[in-house]
């Protein structure tokens, strides 16, 4: 090809590993049958970067439950844009620019974008870049956690859609995960009584001791979610930030107060199964009797609130009113393992990959 | 008793038949095992009416699906205030005053109230009375249909919660019932494309020819609701006024457009079964992917909009832009039959009982 003429290939390229999806996984957790790491060569000469693009070395990659919903091949009407087969899948990430063909950015700038290829290096449009000031007193991982998908999801769920009043009862499922950890702290800052469900006794302790939850329970130890909610919500539930769907949602609908709000952030209990093989929620009639508002949301629809969110979250972080917990995997080769850990519930806090030493 | 002293019982009382619930019916349609008509004697002397009460002869009684939800004994966490056992059940009705101990009302006044005993005669507080002008050009049955629970429910569902824009696609289930007939006409007045589902070919015809629906289908003839919705909504569904719940709701969630609204008025498919024996809705995850807002509502929470609603509906009725269809049963003894007809889908339009000749 014309542009390779005269290039010393050995010196002016880097090897980059990236993750591709070669087959959709309708049922069960994806394996190496579905997701593979492949090595590509990224040319680093100036003219290999088109106008409006930049070459970036990725530093931190966000690993989030929603990624699973983009790998299922959409059985029968379920929504979520699917990853393209045999292309690098995408993720929110923080990266450092190596070269730039956009006058707004230059080499060595640190940027965050929700749509990086899940790779070590890439050449990508700068469209969704946001520049980071590394001296602002915020750690780089916080740009994909507190300021990233989980922090923004928690804020939309609690501040915008749930909007609990002081003293109201707030329930959060998957409470020790990325979204849950911020959501609980945001609800506490609003003066609510906050209870979380999570998957281990250690995480119950974490919720109460580090994230300020008023109470928490290990759902794996509860035989009957209805009984658990009777115990933890003697005065009913006013806001339920739903991260799990399924049986817990059904149990919640038997404990909602009048005019309860259920912002639906995700349904992690449903992601590894074909939708019409799941059990179903049988008591939606309670939505009428208790005048419940259930509302699903995607962050893309709330970008007009992003500035307000960043200001609020930055203030909370700097004053120590909100803390982050990160579970960091090292090396891009850990992607499958790190994603799986979200579904097995083996970690607490926001899961992310540190791609290289900074 | 003191107040009976000197009363000529034979002349100063009337016999009144009323319906009482003697046993809750968790499963299946209530029968004469659960609901019985009994005869009481209503004393019509002046001093038998307490202050703030009136003695009323009922003229028209509204028969509505929600009444079934008040007869099930609330299995495990399902909501809806239950009728008291062995008391006259209540219903919205139009009646004529015989005596009044409230200076705002006098004998011969015609009033409507959402909480009359389901009886021929009664002595009842005037708290929720609204006086009707019989010369206003509105038929008395319209006060419990167009201006009653079905009309107000349709208006809240379409105008307040669904709020479709011109050209949007609106789907209405139980479309030939009381709520559906008004909802479809209100959505047409907003410039929407409106499709309804109903339970017979005759009612399909009625929807298209009398209520102005753009299209309609007989759900009993559709093997697969998903296929039906693909056919009738090639461009997806923006607003679904849900009167039935269950399988149709699940199918709708596979055809919703982004930011679809689902005002949930009722779930008639669920009323005759115990909640945890029903099939359940398995694709609530679509609420996230399509950012759907589902919201249950009870009319009591929207009384502040009632005046606005009455003005709008009155204008539509008088201009012939909205028409009512009533299925009138004669005599209070028809209550069980009339309620059952709503669940068998054997009638079209608003079901009501004319208690006596006017």
The fold for domain B2-139+325-354 equals Quinone Oxidoreductase; Chain A, domain 1 (3.90.180)
Task: Report the alpha-carbon distance of residue B342 to residue B331 in Å, rounded.
Answer: 17
Task: Report the alpha-carbon distance of residue B215 to residue B168 in Å, rounded.
Answer: 14
The minimum CA-CA distance between B56 and chain A, rounded to whole Å, is: 30
Share of chain B above pLDDT 70, in %: 96
A12 pLDDT tier (thresholds 50, 70, 90): confident
Judged by CB atoms closer than 8 Å, whether chains meet at A288 and B254 is answered as: no
**Domain boundaries in chain A?**
2-141+325-354, 149-300
Using an 8 Å CB-CB cutoff, list chain B residues near A266: 285, 288
Task: Report the alpha-carbon distance of residue A112 to residue A122 in Å, rounded.
Answer: 14
Q: What is the DSSP letter of B302?
A: G
Q: Is the pLDDT of residue B77 over 90?
A: no
What is the distance of C-alpha A160 from the center of its chain? 18
Least CB–CB distance from A280: residue in B79, B281, B294: B281
Using an 8 Å CB-CB cutoff, list chain B residues near A281: 280-282, 284
Q: Best of B277, B283, B298 to disrupt the A interface by mutation (most A CBs within 10 Å)?
A: B283
> What is the per-residue pLDDT for B358?
65
Q: In Å, what is the CA distance from A354 to each residue of A140, A164, A248, A357?
A: 10, 36, 33, 8
ipTM greater than 0.85: yes
Task: Report the alpha-carbon distance of residue A285 to residue B69 in Å, rounded.
Answer: 10
Judged by CB atoms closer than 8 Å, whether chains meet at B267 and A284 is answered as: yes
Q: Which of the four CATH numbers 3.40.710.10, 3.90.1150.180, 3.20.20.70, 3.40.50.720 does domain B149-300 have?
A: 3.40.50.720
Q: Is the pLDDT of residue A11 over 60?
A: no
Average pLDDT of the residues in A107-123:
97
Which residues of chain A approach chain B closer than 8 Å at the C-beta? Answer: 69, 76-80, 226, 245, 249-250, 253-255, 259, 264-267, 270, 275-276, 278-298, 301
- Which residue shows structure tokens 């299925």? B327
Q: Best of B26, B266, B271, B296 to disrupt the A interface by mutation (most A CBs within 10 Å)?
A: B296
Judged by CB atoms closer than 8 Å, whether chains meet at B293 and A294 is answered as: yes
Q: Is the pLDDT of residue B27 over 60?
A: yes
Strand-strand pairing, A53-62 and A121-125: antiparallel
Least CB–CB distance from A296: residue in B79, B276, B288: B288
Judged by CB atoms closer than 8 Å, whether chains meet at B283 and A78 is answered as: yes
Q: Strand, coil or helix: what is A130?
A: strand
Judged by CB atoms closer than 8 Å, whether chains meet at B77 and A296 is answered as: no
> What is the per-residue pLDDT for B8?
42
Using an 8 Å CB-CB cutoff, list chain B residues near A293: 293-296
- Which residue shows structure tokens 């003695």? B55
Which residues of chain B approach chain A closer than 8 Å at the C-beta? Answer: 69, 76-80, 226, 245, 249-250, 253-255, 259, 264-267, 270, 275-276, 278-298, 301
B89-139 confidence digits (pLDDT tens): 999 999 999 999 999 999 999 999 999 999 999 999 999 999 999 899 999
Of the spans A34-43, A265-274, B229-238, B278-287, which averages the highest pLDDT? B229-238
Using an 8 Å CB-CB cutoff, list chain A residues near B265: 288
The fold for domain A2-141+325-354 equals Quinone Oxidoreductase; Chain A, domain 1 (3.90.180)
Q: What is the DSSP letter of A358?
A: -
- Which residue shows structure tokens 């059940």? B89
């Amino acid at each position: 090809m014309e542009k390779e003429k005269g290039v010393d290939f050995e010196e002016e390229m880097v090897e980059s590993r990236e993750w591709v999806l070669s087959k959709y996984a309708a049922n069960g957790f994806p394996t190496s049958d579905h997701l593979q790491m492949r090595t590509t060569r990224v040319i680093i000469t100036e003219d290999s970067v088109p106008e409006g693009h930049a070459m970036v070395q990725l530093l931190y990659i966000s690993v989030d439950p929603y990624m699973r919903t983009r790998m299922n091949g959409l059985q029968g009407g379920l929504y979520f844009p699917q990853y393209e087969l045999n292309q690098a899948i995408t993720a929110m990430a923080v990266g450092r620019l190596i070269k730039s063909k956009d006058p707004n950015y230059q080499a060595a700038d640190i940027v965050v974008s929700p749509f990086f290829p899940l790779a070590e290096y890439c050449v990508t449009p700068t469209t969704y870049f946001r520049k980071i000031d590394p001296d602002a007193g915020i750690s780089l991982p916080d740009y994909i956690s507190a300021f990233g998908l989980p922090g923004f999801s928690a804020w939309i769920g609690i501040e915008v859609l749930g909007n609990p009043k002081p003293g109201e009862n707030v329930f959060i499922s998957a409470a020790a995960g990325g979204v849950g950890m911020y959501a609980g702290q945001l609800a506490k800052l609003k003066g609510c009584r906050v209870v979380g469900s999570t998957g281990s006794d250690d995480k119950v302790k974490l919720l109460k001791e580090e994230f300020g939850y008023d109470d928490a329970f290990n759902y794996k130890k509860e035989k009957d979610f209805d009984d658990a909610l009777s115990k933890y919500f003697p005065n009913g539930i006013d806001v339920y930030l739903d991260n799990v769907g399924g049986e817990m949602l059904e149990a919640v609908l038997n404990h909602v107060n009048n005019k309860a709000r259920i912002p639906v952030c995700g349904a992690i209990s449903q992601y590894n199964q074909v939708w019409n093989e799941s059990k179903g929620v049988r008591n939606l009639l309670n939505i009428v009797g208790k005048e419940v508002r259930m509302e699903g949301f995607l962050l893309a629809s709330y970008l007009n609130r992003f500035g307000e969110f960043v200001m609020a979250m930055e203030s909370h972080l700097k004053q120590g009113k909100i803390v982050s917990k990160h579970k960091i995997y090292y090396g891009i080769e850990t992607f499958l393992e790190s994603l799986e850990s979200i579904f097995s519930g083996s970690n607490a806090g926001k899961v992310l990959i540190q791609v290289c030493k900074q």
